[in-house]
Amino acid sequence: MSSLPKTAIIGAGSSGIAGAKVLHERGIPFDCFETSDQVGGNWVFGNRNGMSSSYRTLHINTSRERMEYSDFPMPKSYPDFPHHTQIAEYFNAYVDHFGFRDSIRFQTPVADAARTPEGTWRLELGSGETAEYDALMVANGHHWDPRWPEPAFPGHDVFAGEQMHAHHYTDPDAFRDKRVVVLGMGNSAMDLAVDSSYVAKETWLAARRGAYIVPKYLFGKPADQLHNDPRVPYAIRQRIVQRLILAYTGRPEQYGLPKPDHRFGEAHPTVSGRILDRIAHGAITPKPNIAELTRDTVRFTDGSEVEADLVVYCTGYKVSFPFFAENLISAPDNDLPLYRRVFHPEIDNVFFLSLLQPLGATMPLAERQSEWVADYLRGEYHLPAPAGVRADIEREREKMFKRYVKSKRHTMQIDFDDYLYDLEKERRAGADRARAAGFRLPVAPRAAAPGSAQRSTATA
């Protein structure tokens, strides 16, 4: 038995590999289970796990320097907004550079994760084995389970054309010579409408709410690299950024898009360097929300109607944990309250990586979160008392729900720089608590060594 808690990681996407790298370096015994035959999750186009939402034309919309891990820069030969193939190569190179590929069990999905009476985790693997762990890092991603319009639009069952969710889109050929309605105002809708606009007969972009369109560049720099100091009050930063964007693009309604019913920063950012240009060229026609479908047409809430062959729902994703019993851990309406988006308030040995929606990239966040969890597993960080944890969660939630437009996509929003700033402060405070408690391990090491998975018949 090791002197540190044995940990299982579910998933080897960009978050799971950040977790694995940190545990590897910090000497915490672990196994990482991955459904696919390779790392990279969403960024592996055509991933054999069937879960990737990437498409042939996908480029990142957070810039290279914001997205890369802190100790492994992306190659300087990469553009500011690399293609998904480059991003997938980068994640592969990361695993080889830090040398922990042997700890990843590929093509081994976690089918079930349940707590034993002793509080350890018992995993059932797709291979038919079971294994026990002291702690669990969950990194299964939250952009793979499509959320279709709820409720479905009237007439969805009589529409003779095709209806598709953005998750299933892979290639612009899907739009070729068709009359296409794209629904949504998030980043999927922007990319798919633009792709469609080059090959479709006609493209309409329908939205129930307006958005500020953040350009990829401002002042000749990737927009997400503009100086953003968490010590400056948020309201001031918000006003400055909104003015900059509007000065650069003009108002969305000038392009025929709905007027945003909120200020910038009160919705997840919609980033596109091309959507306004394609609208300006007449290649995309904005519309309000869909009201109903008929056999051959889509009718919008302003009463206008178009004949359509394809409706693409870019209506977001569900947060799903198919391996947990619903009454143990679930996220109804995408809502799972966590302490600083990592620690579960009632279960002291489960941690979530990148279960958040940042105004910024997720990879450096997963990296910092993993270091924080490693501190905890080594007894070098202690959480505040349970009442303090609960109060903090409530405070954060109240602030977020007050700031953001009410939507199932706004249940775990964070500001990239502010989050990292606060996390470092909390790590230091928790280190003091750990020192005062003599570096006691919050999670006792009890489970058998990693790699000791057993055939379920042997453990039955």
Ligand X SMILES: NC(=O)c1ccc[n+]([C@@H]2O[C@H](COP(=O)([O-])OP(=O)(O)OC[C@H]3O[C@@H](n4cnc5c(N)ncnc54)[C@H](OP(=O)(O)O)[C@@H]3O)[C@@H](O)[C@H]2O)c1
**Interatomic CA distance for residues 20 and 101, integer angstroms:** 9
Least separation in angstroms between residue 226's CB and ligand X is 18
- Interaction residues for ligand X, span 376-405 (CB under 6 A): none
Residue 289, contacted partner among ligand FAD, ligand X, none, CB below 5-8 A by kind:
ligand X
Residue among 35 and 188 whose Cβ is closer to ligand X: 188
Nearest distance from residue 187's CB to ligand FAD, in Å?
A: 7
Partner from ligand X, ligand FAD, none contacting 34, C-beta within 5 to 8 A by type:
ligand FAD
Our CB check for ligand FAD shows the closer of 156 and 221 to be: 221
Residues 324-363 that bind ligand X (CB under 6 A): 357
Minimum gap (Å) between residue 213 Cβ and ligand FAD = 16
User: Which of 166, 181, 257, 308 touches ligand X by CB under 6 A?
Assistant: 166
156 makes contact, choosing from ligand X, ligand FAD, none, with CB < 5 to 8 Å by partner type, with none
> From the CB of 377, what's the least distance to ligand FAD, in Å?
20
- Spell out the alpha helix ranges (H) of 341-403: 363-377, 386-403
Q: Is the CB of residue 131 less than 8 Å from the CB of residue 453? A: yes
Task: Tell me how far, at minimum, the Cβ of 295 lies from ligand X, in Å.
Answer: 21
CA separation, residue 408 to residues 17, 150, 266, 316 (Å)? 28, 11, 13, 9
Q: Is 124 in the site for ligand X (CB under 6 A)?
A: no
Q: Contact residues for ligand FAD (CB under 6 A)? A: 10-16, 33-36, 41-43, 49, 51, 53-54, 58, 60-62, 67, 109-110, 139-141, 143-144, 188, 323, 354, 361-362
Distance CA 198, CA 308 (A): 17
* Cβ count within 10 A of residue 111: 16
Residue 120 dihedral angles phi and psi, to the nearest 5°? -80, 175
Distance CA 222, CA 119 (A): 46
Minimum CB distance to ligand X, residue 260 (Å): 10
Distance from C-alpha of 335 to C-alpha of 59, rounded to nearest angstrom:
28
Q: Quick check: 308 and 161 in contact, CB under 8 A?
A: yes
Token reading at 448: 């058998």
Other CB atoms within 10 A of residue 108 CB: 19
Binding interface with ligand X (CB under 6 A)? 58-61, 143, 149-150, 166, 183-189, 191, 208-209, 267-268, 289, 314-317, 357, 407, 409
